[in-house]
Amino acid sequence: MARIGVFVCWCGENIGRTVDCPKVAAEAAEFPGVVHSVDYKYMCSDPGQGLVKEAIREKKLTGVVVAACSPRMHESTFRRACAEAGLNPFLCEMANIREHCSWVHEDRGEATAKAVQLVRVMVEKVKRNEALFPIKVPVTKRALVIGGGIAGIQAALDIANGGKKVVLVEKEPSIGGHMAQLSETFPTLDCSQCILTPRMVEAATHPNITLHTYAEVESVSGFIGNFDVKIRLKARSVDIKKCTGCGLCAQKCPQKKIPSEFDEGLGMRTAIYTPFAQAVPNKPVIDRAHCTKFLNGKCGICQKICPVGAVDYTQEDTFIEEKVGAIVVATGYRLYDFRNGEKDYGIEGYGEYGYGQYKDVIDGLQFERLASASGPTGGEILRPSDGKPPEKVVFIKCVGSRDCAKGLSYCSKICCMYIAKHAMLYKHKVHHGTAYVFYMDIRAGGKSYDEFVRRAIEEDGAVYIRGRVSRIYKRGGKLVVVGADTLLGGTGGGRVEIEADLVVLATAMRPQYGIEALAQKLSISYDEYGFLSEAHPKLRPVETNTAGIFLAGACQGAKDIPEAVGQASGAAAKVLGLFSGDELEREPIVAHVNQSQCVGCFYCEQVCPYHAIEREEKRDKAGNLIARVAKVNAGLCQGCGACVATCRSNSIDLDGFSAEQVFSQIGGLK
């Protein structure tokens, strides 16, 4: 005879405001099989869990229903509490009366009635629950880190220093990411290269790290502890083992007018190139789209000149397979394209700022290259059109960000700080110049951040104007920036017109191109803007909803360097925790085949997304084959139920979600 306990949670006001919790508990007490029913303000708290444990012991409960939040939130909490009181955790179920009820309804009477229904349904299910035991699976103690920017480097180093092997994959020819492009970093103005490049070298030479640059993740299968990853090594056209990195090839390459990606188009590179002098590895690749040899078969100078014969035009993409136990995604960001807009997202660029037709309207990363000692101007701030130092520079914040009309409503978070830094660097280099900053708000929340912005204003004389720029147009050799100082009123409405020499747009931070495709390969979710979703915005910020896959850096949301590094170390700690044991426990929600009933059609094999269906041969005592039937590999099965729905002979059932349980739930609705 079932002895079920029902525990109704108020969730503070979250549930209690809309649902009459004492009434739900009172009604639940009358359900057949329920021997105990209470409500409490915070069931997940220590005293709340105590109520559950006490009732299990005293009332000898055979099942528990917690009517509270989503199982995503606290199922594990209450199952743990049940286990501590000696009840098999899989005899505990959540009735979701928060997300599915109180949060989405307003009428108290109706919401309460629905909550009662949800509890009744769960009571019916729990009566038919059976004790289940976790499945143990082995763990491959190697991690894959996708992306070799500062977040990826940090995660890889932390895992490697923890004594575990790491495979680091970077799609560009060198690791370093955007941080390698930066001039100096806020709020200390230390040189970006000086703090980054030693880390790059450390990552490349670490005995526990295998580095694959110019490589991309092709496909991922498996599950936590046991992922199989296929990596595409793009053809470099240079044998990286032979190449000494002498650089002769790039010197002699006749194609010298290719806009450099590293210099954001402000400098030029050759067809055979390393992205920058401090690249790691310092070995070139051939950009086949621009190389004369690949375009019309002539040239071949680099091959002739190479002293070690490393240039190989016949190289093709190759694939390698790696087995890993955990994956850290650290693919970083790119900037919003104010020139062309974001066509994939149906967003136009900024027509009122000239759609990029003015050479002297540049974005933040381009300014970084102008200010960087390794940049195309050697660190001198010269405007792109005529190479003269600009006398007046206008910085415009929130371009693309906080702009519903352009489809990106979020704040990109780093711009307030880097614009203050830009204004400072500019004043340090062009003493007689004036820096104007158009802003809407100054968001400088961070250690020593606000002081930094004040320094730009008070010590370096940056002129901050509160207002969004309406238009930029060309008059003579100048760019006229039209704005309004909203802190002034009166006649003219605070209208401001500045004849600028250079305009820098602080464009929005966006996730990298192709992030959706990668997320789909990894079966992780992303938001409407393409940022990867964390498992919980507060309490699980580095995990994804797919076990064993973690996030680091700006792929998850706009972030500055300290935050990206912090999250990377957090992800690394999670990975090391995962690798601390030899086995993992997995939820035993897996499918089972009733082999005496299975007709061997193997439709289940076709629909299983996890390749968990195996074929088993049944033989009689004489060894004659009598049937081929399906069998579920419990290590691979994720409990999705696709096979159950497909099975023609009704021979497959899902532990924890059997047909009987589900039908009894439906039958429980009144």
Q: How far is the CB of 403 from other proteins (least distance, A)?
A: 4
Among 107, 352, 516, 617, binds other proteins (CB under 8 A): 352
| Residue 12: Cβ within 10 Å count | 10
Under the binding rule (CB under 8 A), the answer on residue 461 touching other proteins is no
CA distance 201 to 199: 5
**Binding string, residues 68-97; x marks residues near other proteins by CB under 8 A:** ------------------------------
Under the binding rule (CB under 8 A), the answer on residue 466 touching other proteins is yes
The three-point CA angle 457-463-469 to 5° equals: 130
Choice between 205 and 486, CB closer to other proteins: 486
308: tokens are: 């070690």
Nearest to 95 by CA among 76, 78, 115: 115
Match 């938001």 to its residue by tokens. Answer: 527
| Residue 169: Cβ within 10 Å count | 26
Choice between 229 and 498, CB closer to other proteins: 498
Element (H or E) spanning 657, and its range? Answer: none
Q: How far is the CB of 42 from other proteins (least distance, A)?
A: 21
Choice between 398 and 462, CB closer to other proteins: 398
| SS3 assignment, position 462 | coil
Q: How far is the CB of 345 from other proteins (least distance, A)?
A: 16
Among 471, 521, 618, 631, binds other proteins (CB under 8 A): 471
- 423, 395 Cβ separation under 8 angstroms: yes
Choice between 296 and 491, CB closer to other proteins: 491
Binders of other proteins among residues 97 to 156 (CB under 8 A) are: 106
Task: Give DSSP secondary structure letters for 546-596.
Answer: STTEEE-GGGSS---HHHHHHHHHHHHHHHHHHTTSSEEEE----EEE-TT
Among 472, 484, 503, 515, binds other proteins (CB under 8 A): 484
Choice between 448 and 486, CB closer to other proteins: 486
- 422, 415 Cβ separation under 8 angstroms: no
Under the binding rule (CB under 8 A), the answer on residue 314 touching other proteins is no
Q: Which residues contact 89 (CB under 8 A, 6 or more apart)?
A: 79, 80, 82, 83
Under the binding rule (CB under 8 A), the answer on residue 463 touching other proteins is no
Among 50, 134, 163, 492, binds other proteins (CB under 8 A): 492
- 152, 330 Cβ separation under 8 angstroms: yes
Under the binding rule (CB under 8 A), the answer on residue 474 touching other proteins is no
Under the binding rule (CB under 8 A), the answer on residue 528 touching other proteins is no
Under the binding rule (CB under 8 A), the answer on residue 486 touching other proteins is yes
Q: How far is the CB of 16 from other proteins (least distance, A)?
A: 14
Q: How far is the CB of 360 from other proteins (least distance, A)?
A: 20
Among 460, 485, 499, 605, binds other proteins (CB under 8 A): 485
Under the binding rule (CB under 8 A), the answer on residue 468 touching other proteins is yes
Choice between 105 and 242, CB closer to other proteins: 105
**Binding string, residues 424-443; x marks residues near other proteins by CB under 8 A:** ----------------x---
Q: How far is the CB of 370 from other proteins (least distance, A)?
A: 27
Q: How far is the CB of 391 from other proteins (least distance, A)?
A: 22
**Binding string, residues 383-422; x marks residues near other proteins by CB under 8 A:** ---------------x---xxxxx----------------
Q: How far is the CB of 411 from other proteins (least distance, A)?
A: 11
Element (H or E) spanning 448, and its range? Answer: none
Under the binding rule (CB under 8 A), the answer on residue 354 touching other proteins is no
| SS3 assignment, position 241 | coil
Q: How far is the CB of 561 from other proteins (least distance, A)?
A: 28
The three-point CA angle 380-383-385 to 5° equals: 140
Contact stretch for other proteins (CB under 8 A) within 142-150, 494-502, 509-517, 586-594: 494-502
Choice between 409 and 597, CB closer to other proteins: 409
- 103, 132 Cβ separation under 8 angstroms: no
Contact stretch for other proteins (CB under 8 A) within 20-28, 289-297, 485-493, 539-547: 485-493
CA distance 63 to 125: 10
The three-point CA angle 114-118-121 to 5° equals: 135
| Residue 525: Cβ within 10 Å count | 14
Choice between 106 and 316, CB closer to other proteins: 106
Q: How far is the CB of 464 from other proteins (least distance, A)?
A: 14
Residue type, 621: K
- 51, 61 Cβ separation under 8 angstroms: no
- 285, 206 Cβ separation under 8 angstroms: no
List b or e across 174-194, with b for residues whose CB sees 16 or more CB atoms inside 10 angstroms. Answer: bbbbbbbbbbbbbbeeebbbe
Region for residue 214 given its phi and psi (left: phi exceeds 0; alpha: psi -120 to 50; beta: otherwise): left
Q: Which residues contact 490 (CB under 8 A, 6 or more apart)?
A: none
**Binding string, residues 604-643; x marks residues near other proteins by CB under 8 A:** ----------------------------------------
Under the binding rule (CB under 8 A), the answer on residue 500 touching other proteins is no
Q: How far is the CB of 265 from other proteins (least distance, A)?
A: 27
CA distance 411 to 633: 46
Positions in the binding site for other proteins (CB under 8 A): 106, 352, 398, 402-406, 440, 466-471, 482-486, 489, 491-496
